[in-house]
Amino acid sequence: MTDERTTDGWLPSPPFQHHLGIETVEAADGKSLLRFSFKAEYGNRKGDVHGGVLATLADLAMSQAIRSLATDIAGMSTINMTVNYLDTASGNLVAHGRIVKLGRTIGVGEATCEDARGRVVVHATGAFRMIRHKKA
C-alpha cells in the first residue's frame, strides 16, 4: 500500500481495505468489482467469513462504485448501511457494487457479495456523504 496522500491529505483508498487484502479489480461507470481472498484469521468461530468482513466488503464495493463517477470529491463517509446476510460465506469472494442514485452531496449504492460458486451471500444498500475538495 502506498501512503501517498492527495493534496487535501486523503489516502486514495482505506488502509483497512489493504489490511484485509481486498483488491479493487475495477471501478468505472458507476460500478465496481472487488475481490477478497479468505484467510483463517478473517473467519468466525465456525470458520466461515466473519460478518464484519462481509459488511466491509459491501461498503467498499458501494463506495468504489460511487467514487468511479464522483471524481471531484476528496473523500466519503458512510451515512447508513443495511446488510442482509443471505447465506454463510466461505472461501474467496467477489463483490459487485453499483450506484442507485448520485446527488451533489449524497450517493446511494447497492452491493452483492458472491462466493466462488456464484451464490449471492450478501445484499447491501447504503448512503454515503461525499466530502468535497476544500476551496482555496
pLDDT, one tens digit per residue, over 10-49 is 555 677 888 788 999 999 999 999 999 999 898 999 999 9
Confidence (pLDDT) at 2:
47
Q: For domain 15-132, is the CATH number 3.10.129.10?
A: yes
What distance in Å separates the CA atoms of residue 19 and residue 34, rounded to the nearest whole number?
A: 14
pLDDT, one tens digit per residue, over 86-114 is 999 999 999 999 999 999 999 999 999 99
Confidence (pLDDT) at 134:
73
Question: Which residues make beta-bridge pairs with 114?
Answer: 94, 120
Q: What is the DSSP letter of 65?
A: H
Confidence (pLDDT) at 68:
94
Rounded to two decimals, the pTM is: 0.88
